[in-house]
Amino acid sequence: MTAEPATLSYTDVELPEQVRRLHTAIPGPASLARHAHRQSVLSTGLGTTLPVFVERAGGGILVDVDGNQLIDFASGIAVTTVGSSAPAVVRRVREQVAKVTHTCFLVTEYDGYVEVGEKLNALTPGTHAKKSALFSTGAEAVENAVKIARVATHRPAIVTFGHAYHGRTLLTMTMTAKNAPYKDGFGPFAPEVYRAPLAYPFRWPTGPEHCAIEALNALEDLVVKQIGAHNTAAIVIEPIQGEGGFIVPPAAYLQGVATLAREHGIVLIADEVQTGIARTGAMFASEHDGIVPDIIVTAKGLAGGLPLAGVTGRAELMDAVPAGGLGGTFAGNPVACAAAMGVFETIDELDLVSRARQIEALARPALEEAADGNPWVGEIRGRGAMLAVEFVVPGSKNPAPEAAAAVMAACHRQGVVTLQCGTYGNVIRLLPPLVMPDDLLHDGLAVLTSAWKGL
């Protein structure tokens, strides 16, 4: 067996030309044919935002099977933060996959798992002693964070929030707020999951200025009066909600949630599956509000597209679980761990945390300028490279999902891949890879903003 050739390095990854270019209608004929075939092969339960088959991707571009070059404002739902097939990820994955693909960490150990754990312990907020465990998906990691909190506290109850999204497994689906399509018909749900209203400034009934305090009062009432703090294992919160609509709660609110948790010995779990790993202009969104969660859950952007998730928390919590209590066959797979080390290398080398802030500095003014005076745009919000537009019926705050859908469709027709989100489906979110060049970002924003000007 020969070793990997030494020439296999950065230069080996060919980036698609960083320009939007359409040869056909979107979707093109080759994509349409494949999509029609897929219908006969795959479950109807699998939805698709844009039925385009992608052959190659890199930087800010997706290349489809018709040869069209699309602007990627989705990053595979906040996954390819460092870009698809980022050179350092490709290099490390190639090296690893040629050496060992899998041993199962529960059977025999390998360095990559420990290295990723060390990185997560070092990079997550707080200077306290931390430990980590790795998994494969965000939902799996959220479940394990809950298991750890329950073992550590000997308490059953879990508090989640309105508009929350935590996954599609039984427990995380239960923790998720929105019924269709995530929960409808899939019950009965897991017990001991409670929901507090989320501080959603734009939609707070008495106005944004009352949002933090009133939402905190409601949370305290739920925890202390309805559940009993001594029965509450964990409060699980997304510092910026993802699927729920890119909702940015007031800093005072998140700080108040953290204080309430601390006062009652409740484990504060930050679900940073969507916000984590440099996306918001900080390594973790919790940092923006100065909160130090007891446990942080990561996934998505952690391994540049390979399935990997992490649970990182206070050492005493993470060590409350006896040996054998955590695991999974594929959890912390060596190839995924190698990819994660490539992600950390790329974030560091390209200073992608700053780049996320730069993207906000470029995109937000363009979005705000185009929103100014447009009655369909209720709010522009988000942080870093996690930005969103909420559409409303003119003259009201009533959600306008059909307007969002029309804007999305216009973007898709012109080769800009955007995603919808929000409980009411009226939010368009932007999650560009952080390596997207400025020109491409401006081009994509121009398509998006002209689409809503045409409403």
By the rule CB under 6 A, 166 interacts with ligand PLZ = yes
When binding is defined by CB under 6 A, the residue of 64, 72, 271, 294 that contacts ligand PLZ is 271
Query: Which of 112, 90, 85 lies closest to 4, judged by CA?
Result: 90
Please identify, using beta-carbon distances, which residue of 76 and 112 lies nearer to ligand PLZ: 76
Tokens of 66: 């018709």
Residues 59-78 close enough to bind ligand PLZ by CB under 6 A: 77
**Integer CA distances (angstroms), 29 to 21, 69, 181, 363, in order:** 16, 15, 29, 33
Binding segment (CB under 6 A) for ligand PLZ, from list 133-141, 200-208, 278-286, 288-296 = 133-141
Q: How far is the CB of 355 from ligand PLZ (least distance, A)?
A: 21
When binding is defined by CB under 6 A, the residue of 137, 174, 312, 426 that contacts ligand PLZ is 137
When binding is defined by CB under 6 A, the residue of 74, 247, 258, 273 that contacts ligand PLZ is 273
Q: How far is the CB of 177 from ligand PLZ (least distance, A)?
A: 12
When binding is defined by CB under 6 A, the residue of 16, 27, 28, 138 that contacts ligand PLZ is 138
Residue 160's DSSP bridge partners are 195
How many other CB atoms sit within 10 Å of the CB of residue 235? 28
Tokens of 259: 């204080």
Binding pattern for the stretch 76-95 against ligand PLZ, x by CB under 6 A and - elsewhere: -x------------------
Using CB positions, name the residue nearest to ligand PLZ: 138
Binding segment (CB under 6 A) for ligand PLZ, from list 33-41, 116-124, 160-168, 262-270 = 160-168
By the rule CB under 6 A, 238 interacts with ligand PLZ = yes
Side chain identity at residue 4, one-letter code: E
By the rule CB under 6 A, 143 interacts with ligand PLZ = no
Residue 164 near residue 170 (C-beta atoms within 8 A): no
Binding segment (CB under 6 A) for ligand PLZ, from list 145-153, 238-246, 388-396, 420-428 = 238-246
CA angle 35, 339, 135 (to 5 degrees): 85
Query: Which of 189, 137, 77, 42 lies closest to 336, judged by CA?
Result: 137
Cα-only R_g, the chain = 22
Query: Phi and psi at residue 407, in whole multiples of 5°?
Result: -65, -45
Binding segment (CB under 6 A) for ligand PLZ, from list 9-17, 134-142, 146-154, 405-413 = 134-142
When binding is defined by CB under 6 A, the residue of 167, 256, 415, 444 that contacts ligand PLZ is 167
By the rule CB under 6 A, 161 interacts with ligand PLZ = no
By the rule CB under 6 A, 28 interacts with ligand PLZ = no
Q: How far is the CB of 297 from ligand PLZ (least distance, A)?
A: 7
Please identify, using beta-carbon distances, which residue of 119 and 166 lies nearer to ligand PLZ: 166
Residues at the interface with ligand PLZ (CB under 6 A): 77, 137-139, 142, 165-168, 238, 242-243, 271, 273-274, 299
